[in-house]
């Protein structure tokens, strides 16, 4: 390619668009579906039911310790499918790019996406690129959607159909890492902490758990809004009580310090590699053992349980023995965190 930055013509649908597709997107994402460059990818889902999801990513900055917007765009959608009990298979990808954006950075992002997709076993099969004039977006925004196949035995997971009193709540590691890593990376904040985003595709870890045959009643990746929002939504939607022990909540010292300094509640800080599991109490130990063996689950912990008291509410039993309600996040904690 002759230029080293994105031109408006790269979004024209004409020759420059083709050059961009060939020199970057096909170079990294190449597969039989994408190569055909048809209006739609034609896919076989083997007659199974499918799971379908979408997310847009507008994180600022686009590169941060532990990842970049491309890694986030793959992991976010892969995880949304995986927590539904589905095996992620196919993804779409839509780029909105600011005129003047560095082609080198775009290539780095595409390479990361390809690497993550390969590790997660998904294929990027259809895509789109739009270019907007300078100042009309911030470097690059990415939308991904994804399709997974789902077995009949997992259909109840996404709606938490079978949760009941006594079920245990498990998280696969420390909370708030992603949010604080992005905050630390923001130029306008003079903080440098050794905090890395937990951004990762969790489908392999989740399938290891499901393959044990353990009764997984519910899973949700705790992204924007943090685990606080997940727990509060679950309690409200299923009209159950949720009891959380603060002492069991894995929290990195750096993240804790930064949250205290900046006045954030780690319960509401975004994660990009954490899943809240609800599992039958008989299976909790087994799930914990499986999680701890996975690279993304070393600090897994049983953090609480489903209770019959205070239905519709989620409660935190604090370190000092008090109790406080975990409500839904009101207002905005951290804009453009994902």
**DSSP alpha helices (H): ranges in 152-202?**
177-185
Q: Given the complex with a second copy, which of 26 and 328 has the nearer CB atom?
A: 328
Residue 93 or 216 having the CB closest to a second copy? 93
Residue 96 within binding range of a second copy, rule CB under 8 A:
yes
- In the list 224, 238, 243, 274, the residue contacting a second copy (rule: CB under 8 A) is 224
Query: 160-199 mask for a second copy (x: CB under 8 A)?
Result: ----------------------------------------
The answer to whether 97 and 11 are in contact (CB under 8 A) is yes
Distance (Å, whole) CA 229 – CA 199: 18
Closest CB to a second copy among residues 32, 295 = 32
Q: Does 102 bind a second copy (CB under 8 A)?
A: no
Using CB under 8 A, pick the residue from 6, 24, 73, 86 that binds a second copy.
Answer: 86
What's the Cα-to-Cα distance from 227 to each of 2, 9, 152, 214, 286, rounded to whole Å?
47, 43, 28, 22, 22
**Contacts with a second copy in 228-267 (CB under 8 A)?**
229, 237
Q: Is 83 in the site for a second copy (CB under 8 A)?
A: yes
* 204: helix, strand or coil: helix
**Residues facing 282 on adjacent strands:** none
Which of residues 147, 183, 227, 240 is near a second copy by CB under 8 A?
147
* Residue from 17, 207, 212, 281 binding a second copy (CB under 8 A): 17
Sign of the torsion formed by the C-alpha atoms of 147, 148, 149 and 150: negative
SS3 of 144, please?
strand
How many beta carbons lie within 10 A of that of residue 180, not counting itself? 29
The region of 173-181, 215-223, 245-253, 282-290 touching a second copy under the rule CB under 8 A is: 215-223
């Amino acid at each position: 390619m002759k230029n080293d930055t994105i031109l408006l013509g790269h979004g024209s649908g004409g020759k420059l668009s083709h050059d961009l597709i060939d020199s970057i997107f096909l170079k990294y994402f190449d597969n039989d579906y994408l190569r055909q460059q048809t209006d739609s990818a034609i896919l076989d889902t083997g007659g199974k039911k499918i799971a379908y999801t979408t997310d847009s990513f507008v994180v600022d900055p686009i590169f941060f310790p532990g990842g970049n917007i491309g890694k986030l765009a793959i992991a976010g959608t892969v995880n949304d499918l995986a927590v539904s009990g589905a095996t992620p298979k196919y993804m779409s990808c839509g780029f909105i790019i600011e005129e003047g954006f560095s082609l080198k950075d775009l290539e780095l992002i595409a390479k990361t996406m390809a690497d993550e997709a390969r590790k997660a076993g998904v294929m990027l099969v259809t895509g789109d690129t739009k270019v907007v004039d300078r100042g009309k977006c911030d470097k690059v925004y990415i939308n991904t959607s994804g399709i997974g196949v789902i077995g009949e035995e997992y259909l109840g997971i996404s709606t938490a159909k079978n949760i009941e009193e006594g079920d245990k709540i498990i998280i696969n590691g420390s909370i708030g890492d992603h949010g604080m890593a992005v905050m630390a990376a923001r130029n306008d904040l003079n903080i440098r902490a050794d905090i890395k985003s937990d951004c990762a595709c969790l489908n392999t870890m989740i399938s290891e758990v499901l393959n044990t045959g353990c009764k997984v009643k519910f899973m949700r990746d705790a992204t924007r809004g943090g685990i606080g929002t997940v727990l509060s939504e679950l309690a409200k939607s299923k009209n159950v009580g949720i009891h959380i022990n603060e002492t069991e909540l894995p929290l990195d010292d750096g993240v804790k310090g930064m949250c205290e300094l900046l006045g954030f509640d780690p319960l509401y800080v975004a994660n990009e590699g954490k899943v809240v599991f609800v599992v039958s109490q008989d299976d909790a130990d087994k799930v914990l053992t499986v999680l701890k063996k996975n690279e993304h689950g070393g600090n897994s912990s049983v953090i609480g349980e489903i209770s019959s008291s205070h239905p519709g509410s989620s409660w935190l039993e604090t370190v000092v023995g008090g109790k406080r309600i975990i409500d839904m996040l009101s207002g905005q904690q951290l804009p453009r965190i994902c």
